[in-house]
Structure 1
Amino acid sequence: MGEATVKTLEGLTASPSPMVTEDGQAPERSRLQRMRSVRRPRIWFEILLIAVSYWTYSLIRNAVPEQKAQALRNANWIWDAEHALGIAVEQTVNHAVNSVTWLIVTMNYYYATLHFIVTIGVLVWLYRHHPGRYAPTRLVLFATTGVALVGYYLYPLAPPRLMTGQNFIDTVLVHHTWGSMASGNLKNMSNQYAAMPSMHIGWSLWCGVTIFALTTAPWAKILGLLYPTLTLIVIVATANHFWLDAVGGLLCLAFGYGLSYVWYGSLPHRLPRHVTTTATATASDGIWSSAKLNTARR
């Protein structure tokens, strides 16, 4: 049998759409296609996934050998590189902000809490108001965090506050505030030499880009831009990171967006806001295609 053709309204001959069979039914999608399609998120699965993923991230991050000597050598190299680039102002910022007690204490708590609160808040907001974009945006966050673990393993780095002979101030210790898992009584629970890349920057940029791209209110877009900017100031003022650690976080985020784009075929904010179920989409495609075929055959 020859290839089936239909007559269009202009009287031209055309082949049926490859998306449907001749009887008007959509072909069964492959397993890979089903995996790459956006589906409505399920609350129990998302809570479990986030909890397990963060536990795994913390376990792996803290299991990376601390390599103190190498981490300090890398910190000295970063510090020298920033001097060569003319951007080594971390110590100046650290001392200036530390002189204002209420400000540095606020930054200590900012560093300790908003990292988690804002990120979880954005995930909840996406789940409730942008379910069609939730999974692709969540993939960006997870991929960003995953590739950061590689950085912690390959490039141990001491934060400025742990450098010897550079006179940086560990603001958490000086002001006796609870502000870092890597300071005070909590320091033994966290790898202190996992400063590169900065996930405070990676996660805050993820939040900021998501808010900026998906909101329409000008004030919300401004907040989206301010959050990673303020986070950058905080990580430097508290001597937890160098400027270049923030660049590492930015590169990790770029990797996350790249992976999400390859997997879903689009950037998250360009995907539909709501999810159309597979069954509904298949049925509507089949009915519409069948109607077109029947009309053309008359």
Structure 2
Amino acid sequence: METVRMPYSAHSASTPRSPRPRPRWWTELTLLVLVYAAYSLGRLLARGDVSTAVDHGLAILRVEKALLLNAEHPLNRLFTSTPALGIPADFAYASLHYLVTPAVLVWLFRRRPARYRAARTWLMISTVLSLAGFTLLPTCPPRLLEAGYGFVDTMARYSSYGWWGDEASAPRGLGGMTNQYAAMPSLHVGWALWCGVLLWRHGRNPLVKWVGVGYPLLITVVVMGTANHYFLDAVAGAAVMGLGALLTRPAMRAAERVRVAAEARFGRSPAPAAVSPAAASSARSAPAPSRTSPRQGPIVSGGCETSAGERFPGQRTRTSTPGTTSADDTPATAR
């Protein structure tokens, strides 16, 4: 007896699960604003003692010199002596962080919606993880060290060209609303790496892929040349993003379990379409589908007719009543 397949399995019928809805822009915007507001507040609350932050900065500088990784000094001297490099670098530091990252998020939301949720979760987890670094290791950036250490604050030197003041990249008068000692890890580098990975993986145009490669490298040079970060700050930013990537899938599974539990408790998932008893009975009594190959040869006699009295070998005639003619137009009584 032929088994009739239902549009869903018995397991799915007993445990229906609704498909994951596509993200809505207003809920996503609200979520991102709340997370960024919490991050900014936590960053402000993570302010440590200035002397401790200076000690941490000098310790990082000593480690870099011991490992021959001190690229900040030559880059900073180049940006200071060449305004054609220093001024664009300051604009890049003050703006790209807040322009490119949202642009990549919007691009994923519109063009790669299947990849958006994981990318957004990765970004949020890594951003929250960075708060641990700001809290445990407040670090004085190179530009705030004493002049004897050889660094020049290019943001302050070229502040007349931009909207920022002498305090980091915040607009003039709002410098007190930022934590200038939240330098370890560098989220400028971390977010740029996030953008680069997504552009490389999901971009279809070769130019987009190469932008994904070049953008994090550019930001790494910019943060060191403007004396806003040490090289090890950039390394820590990449490490935080790597840890966030590892935690993304477990976090999404946990969120899915919470969603399913909430639906089971407070709402009802849409069940699969029910099959009526009559439809199931007719499906069971329906003849089994032919097992012949779907690729059959053409009908040779299609469109052909036989003349009166002519029959194909083995052809069966229709049973007819007296006085009627058979399929070959010969009266049945004449046979």
The bucket for the TM-score relative to the shorter chain is 0.7 to 0.9
Identity of paired residues, percent? 36
For residues 136 and 163 of structure 2, what CA distance do their matches in structure 1 show? 29
Task: Write 1 or 2 for the structure with the bigger share of helix.
Answer: 1
- Tell me the alpha carbon deviations over residues 104-149 of structure 1, each in whole angstroms, 9 at most, x when there is no partner: 1111111011101000000100110111111111000000100001
What is the TM-score when the length of structure 1 is the normalising length?
0.78
Q: How does 1:83-122 map to 2 (within 5 A)?
A: 83-122=65-104
199, 204, 208: which one pairs with 2:196? 208
**TM-score normalised to structure 2 length:** 0.70
Q: Which has the higher contact order (CA 8 A, sep 6+)?
A: 1
By how many angstroms is 1:89 displaced? Answer: 2.1
Within the alignment, does 1:170 sit opposite 2:153 as a pair? Answer: yes
- Distance of 1:163 and 1:45 partners within structure 2: 43
2:251 is the alignment partner of 1:259: no
Contact 1:66–1:191 under 8 Å retained in 2? no
Identify unmatched segments of 5+ residues in structure 1: 1-5, 9-15, 266-277, 284-289
Q: 1:235 aligns with which of 223, 226, 251?
A: 223
Point out where structure 2 has 5 or more consecutive residues left out of the alignment. Answer: 254-268, 274-279, 289-335
In 2, Cα distance between equivalents of 1:83 and 1:178: 34
Q: Letter of the aligned partner of 2:72 in structure 1?
A: E
The answer on 1:45 being equivalent to 2:30 is no
- Give the superposed CA RMSD: 3.0
- 2:34 partner letter: V
- Most deviating of 98-107 and 137-146: 98-107
Change (3 A) 1:20 1:101: same
* Of 20, 24, 30, the match for 2:9: 20
Amino acid of the structure 2 residue aligned with 1:172 = M
Query: Quick check: 1:94–1:238 contact (8 Å CA) kept in 2?
Result: yes
Q: Tell me the amino acid that sits aligned with residue 178 of structure 1.
A: W
Cα deviation, 1:51-86, whole Å, max 9, x if unaligned, reads 111111111101113311111000111000000100
Give deviations 1:255-290, integer Å, cap 9, x for gaps: 11111123447xxxxxxxxxxxx869x66xxxxxx9
CA contact (8 A) 2:121 2:252 kept: no
Q: Does 1:68 align with 2:57?
A: no
The 3 A distance-change label for structure 1 pair 166 and 182 is farther
Instruction: State how far apart, in whole Å, the 2-side matches of 1:184 and 1:74 are.
Output: 27
